[in-house]
Structure formats: structure tokens, C-alpha cells
Amino acid sequence: MPAILALKKIIRINHYRIKGGKQMKKKKESGNNTEKWLLVNKHRKVIFSSENIADVIEEGRKYKLYEVSIEKKLTPGTCFF
Amino acid sequence: MQRTTPLLKFVFDYKRFHCRIPIVPVRFVRSDGVSSPIINAVLDSGADALTIPKELAEWLQIKLEQTKTSAKTAAGTTNAFIGAAPEFILGQGGREVSYKDVEVYTMEHCSYTLVGITPVFEDYNVTIQASQKRFRLEPRE
């Protein structure tokens, strides 16, 4: 009987470990692009990003002239030029 | 600086950028004729002239010289460098106004493209309709 109780205890401990492990999974990175130059397509989907605008220009030159554009995220309340 | 095409009337809508400040499409052309893609720049009445990131000036192969006096920015005083961009184009999709040999500045700690007083505000009456996230550029007569 004590052996069965001990086994049950081990199972319970492992169950909590697994559950805890799931909870401790890292959240996906949110992709902070505020300081990066972004290459976006006509649907404003980001297709390339870099902190160096020259890299983004070179990537953008692979596309037709008006198919893509370059920008930086300008979140309201963060721009004081 | 020389404008090589007639001024055009523009209405730019910047709702899609989800920001409060006016955004204007521009591009730069190197002396070898290679154009950048469209760059969505900040229309900035607080900037004397076109201000570009140092890396863009390098891509344009612009010779930069340090200005005699430092630049005053919202973030304080900083070192500035001046040069001439071979071609600056305002607008997109065939409705464009082109300027040759345009004075451009780069500044330490400024990594934005700012479209300032020279040449756009000097050539245009600018009306910003901030509530509609739209602005008009009407050529001065």
C-alpha cells in the first residue's frame, strides 16, 4: 500500500512539473522593429528589415521601383523631430 | 539646386502609417543613375533642409563636410555634415517632381529622413489636415 501511495505521489509531482514546464515556455519575440528600417510591399507586409538603410535599399532594388517602399515605424507619442 | 520638372499639386494621405506625423514619399538617385526605392520620409517644418541618415549619404556616394557650426535639434546640439545629393524626387508613381544637386545634411544621432524647409516648404504652400491624416502641397505662384 505505501508503495502505491509513493507511486501516486511521483506521478502527481511529474504532472505538475510538466504543467509548470508548459507555463514557463518562452513567449514568442514580439519583433521590435521601431529602430529598424523596414522594406514593405504594397500590402504593407514587412519583407526585409535592417538597422542600416543601405542594406534595405539594396534589397529593395531587387523589386520594381514602386512595388516596395522603405520606412521606419513611427508610433504615436514617440516622435519629436 | 535646380528643379528639373514643373511643380505638381499633391495630396498625400498618411493614414496607413498609423502615426500622427505627416509622411511623404521621396526617392534619391545616385550620380550613376541608380535610384533608391521609395522612402517614406517625415515632412518636417522644423528642419532647415533635407536630412538623411549617414548610411544613405554613403550609399548615394555623397562627399560630406562638417558644418562650421553644430546643429540644433530637439534632442540638443550635435555635429552635422553637409553634402549635395545628385537627384531628389518628391512623389511617386509617375507624379514626381525632381531636383538636382540638392543640399542634404546628416547628423549624429539622427537616423531619420526629414523633408525640411528647403526645397519643399519653399516651393509649396503646405496644409496639414492632421485630423484626416492628410496634407496638401500646392505650388507657390
Quote the pLDDT of residue A1. 54
Quote the pLDDT of residue A29. 39
Quote the pLDDT of residue B76. 86
Judged by a CB distance cut-off of 8 A, whether residue A38 touches chain B is no
Quote the pLDDT of residue B120. 96
Quote the pLDDT of residue B96. 97
Blockwise average pLDDT, block size 10, chain A, 81 residues: 62 54 43 80 95 96 96 81 73
Distance from CA of A71 to the nearest CA of B (A): 5
B25 → closest Cβ in A39, A69, A74: A69
A44 → closest Cβ in B16, B36, B42: B16
Asked if A74's CB is within 8 angstroms of B23's CB, the reply is: yes
Distance from CA of B109 to the nearest CA of A (A): 12
In degrees, to the nearest 5, what angle opens at C-alpha B128 toward C-alphas B125 and B134? 120
User: Distances in Å between the alpha carbon of B33 and those of B20, B30, B86?
Assistant: 34, 5, 9
Quote the pLDDT of residue A26. 41
Quote the pLDDT of residue A77. 76
The owner of cell 545628385 is B86
Claim: this prediction has a pTM higher than 0.80: yes
Asked if B59's CB is within 8 angstroms of A53's CB, the reply is: yes
Q: Which residues contact B20 (CB under 8 A, 6 or more apart)?
A: A76, A77, A79, B130, B133
Stretches in chain B below the pLDDT threshold 50: none
Distance from CA of B53 to the nearest CA of A (A): 8
Quote the pLDDT of residue A81. 73
Asked if B36's CB is within 8 angstroms of A57's CB, the reply is: yes
Q: Which residues from chain B sit within 8 angstroms of residue A48, using beta carbons?
A: none
CATH topology of domain B23-123: Cathepsin D, subunit A; domain 1 (2.40.70)
Asked if B23's CB is within 8 angstroms of A70's CB, the reply is: no
Per domain, the residue ranges of chain B are 23-123
B45: how many CB neighbours lie within 10 A of its CB?
Answer: 14
The yes/no answer to whether this complex scores an ipTM above 0.85 is yes
Quote the pLDDT of residue A20. 47
A70 → closest Cβ in B17, B40, B44: B40
A81 → closest Cβ in B17, B42, B58: B42
DSSP codes of every residue in A16-77 = HHHHHHHHTPPPPP----TTSEEEEETT--EEEEES-HHHHHHHHTTS-TTTEEEEE---TT
Asked if B20's CB is within 8 angstroms of A76's CB, the reply is: yes
